[in-house]
Structure 1
Amino acid sequence: MGETWGLVLSLAAGILLGAFFFGGLWWTVRRGVSSRNPGLWFIGSTLLRISAVMTGFYFLLGLPGESWQILLAGLLGFIITRLVATRLAGSDKSDLDHLERKASHAP
């Protein structure tokens, strides 16, 4: 029973890590396109998001159970979040026109 809870906790942690990663990506694109230094936004955000997700997966290794199963459950949660985020981002096409108008000032 303890191993099952470890897998469920790992799946939930993967979903939270995915929400942080893809939510941060969405936020960065919205802010970075209209900023004065978009390169700093994108590089800083990428480093922060990757560091946080890698640290989260590292801590998943400390959960009880088989390490590969724990990591696989966490990765499954991360992928599920990616699919949901992709679907949600694709459903709002009107925001893309707004971003294209903002980005038209770029050289």
Structure 2
Amino acid sequence: MNDVLSLLPAVFAGILLGIIFFGGLWLTVNKGLGSKRATLIFFGSLILRMGIILIGFYFVGGDSWQKMLACLGGFLVARIAITNITKKIKQTDPVFIKKVGDEN
């Protein structure tokens, strides 16, 4: 039982890292699609998000594979949560992209 409790901080850290990664991805897609510098936004976001996640996983799970696995589990839980939240936001607030030649 004590071993499971020692893994809870790693799970919560994984959830936080997942929120940062997938929330940042969602923000990047929303801001980058309408931007003139989409390539720079997407590439910069990728480098920043991957750097944060790699450093986070290194510090959280650096001394044991159990903590690394617990952090990964939290990361995946955050992925599922962010996916569900963004689906609900998308359903309530649809974004329409204008096509070339549309007159409005």
Same structural fold, with TM-score higher than 0.5 when normalized by the shorter chain: yes
Matched pairs, number:
98
Q: Which residue of 1 aligns with 2:22?
A: 22
Q: Distance in 2 between matches of 1:61 and 1:81?
A: 17
**Letter paired with 1:31:** K
Structure 2 length as normaliser, TM-score? 0.83
**Letter paired with 1:22:** F
Indicate conservation of the 8 Å contact 2:21/2:49, yes or no. yes
In the alignment, structure 1 segments of 5+ residues that lack a partner are: none
**Letter paired with 2:51:** S
**Aligned-residue RMSD, C-alpha:** 1.8
* 2:68 is aligned with 1:71: yes
Distance apart, 1:61 and its partner CA? 2.8
Q: Distance in 2 between matches of 1:58 and 1:29?
A: 27
**Letter paired with 1:19:** I
Structure 1 length as normaliser, TM-score? 0.81
Correspondence for 1:101 among 76, 97, 104: 97
Q: Distance in 1 between matches of 2:39 and 2:92?
A: 25
Q: Which residue of 2 aligns with 1:49?
A: 49
Distance apart, 1:88 and its partner CA? 1.1
Q: Which residue of 1 aligns with 2:81?
A: 84
